Amino acid sequence: MRQYILRRILLIIPTMIGVTMLVSLLTQLLPGDFIDVMLADHVGQGEDVAAIRAKWEEDLGWNDPWIVQYGNWLWDAVRGDLGTSLIGSFNTVVEELQTRIPVTLELGVLSLIVGIVIALPVGIISAVRQDSWADYIFRGGAILALSVPSFWLAVLTIRIVFPQLGLPALPLVYQDPTENLAENLRQMYVPAIFLGIALAGPVMRLTRGEMLEVLRQDYVRTARAKGLREQAVIVRHAMRNALIPVLTLIGLSASILIGGSVIMEFIFSLPGMGLRMLDALGTRDIPVVMGIMVVIALVVIVANLLVDIAYSLVDPRIRYN
């Protein structure tokens, strides 16, 4: 196991190089650039726009070929310098990430917990009680969760449900959990629930399908014939074998949750990475875009590594040599 984990950690290096190289190349294809934004906002009529652009391009090193620009960024990134924001606060990218990563991670973890808590029990019950009224209701709920956009539900809840029920409006100023946990959770619980519901739909359907397949296996029939309690058959024999594909889907959902947080952070005024990414793309703040993509790639890689390790915990037959 240790050697496997070490190899996977070493594979992070070429993976990150490939991801950042692709993102850097794609940013070159974006229409316009940061200089266009600055020229439109700060350069008046009669000024020599071409001379100003040429000077800024020289200062930023944009006259170099793309591979040279990427090589310079990579060398700085290895030393812990992800660059400086080109517009707005002009903070370093590391300073930007230090304040925004915890917000997005908190939202993602809460959403993941909500999705798992809903999907696993519902999927198992739906499979055990196949074709019952509960199964039909749960399957319909899963299809609804898959088809209805979470951001639409969020807007509907804020504008209609909350006022109709007389609930207090959600806070628009982010509260750090270390300063006021109650206010933080009051702002986080609604977006976490809706992102969790969006995740619960596919996980519930996969859990149900895998449980139905496992429950038809001979070893489950044998366990029942030996007189084991139904709860023991479901939990000890069926559920553990059905969870392996479900764990894979949950691991892949890490990137989906981060991507989905872009809209939720915008709706609920959460100062996370998604909202900053949206702003950076609009202003062509490429250093910030690159820094956020590094974090997203690391989260996805680590999440998949944890899922692979969890395989061996769920199924003792799986061993990594």
Total Cβ atoms within 10 A of residue 193: 20
pLDDT bracket for residue 317 (50, 70, 90): low
pLDDT tens-digit readout, 53-64: 777 777 777 777
24 vs 61, which has greater pLDDT? 24
Our measurement of the distance from residue 203's CA atom to the centroid of its chain's CA atoms, rounded to an integer in Å, reads 15
Q: What share of the chain is helix, strand, coil (3-state, %, to 5)?
A: 80, 0, 20
Residue 46 has pLDDT above 60, yes or no: no
- Tokens 């992102």 belong to 195
pLDDT tens-digit readout, 181-210: 888 888 888 888 888 888 888 889 888 888
C-alpha angle with apex 18: 14 to 19, nearest 5 degrees?
120
Listed by start position, the domains of the chain span 2-78, 93-314
Q: What is the pLDDT of residue 89?
A: 65
| pTM score | 0.80
319: left (phi over 0), alpha (psi -120 to 50) or beta: beta
Residues 6+ positions from 178 with CB-CB distance below 8 Å: none
pLDDT tens-digit readout, 107-149: 888 888 998 899 888 988 888 888 888 888 888 888 888 788 7
Given a contact cutoff of 8 angstroms between Cβ atoms, the answer to whether 260 and 200 are in contact is no
C-alpha angle with apex 248: 246 to 254, nearest 5 degrees?
105
In order of 130, 160, 186, 234, the CA distances from 221 in angstroms are 17, 50, 47, 11
Residues 6+ positions from 136 with CB-CB distance below 8 Å: none
Q: What top-level class would CATH report for the domain 93-314?
A: mainly alpha
Least confident of 56-70, 96-110, 214-228, 252-266: 252-266
Given a contact cutoff of 8 angstroms between Cβ atoms, the answer to whether 66 and 27 are in contact is no
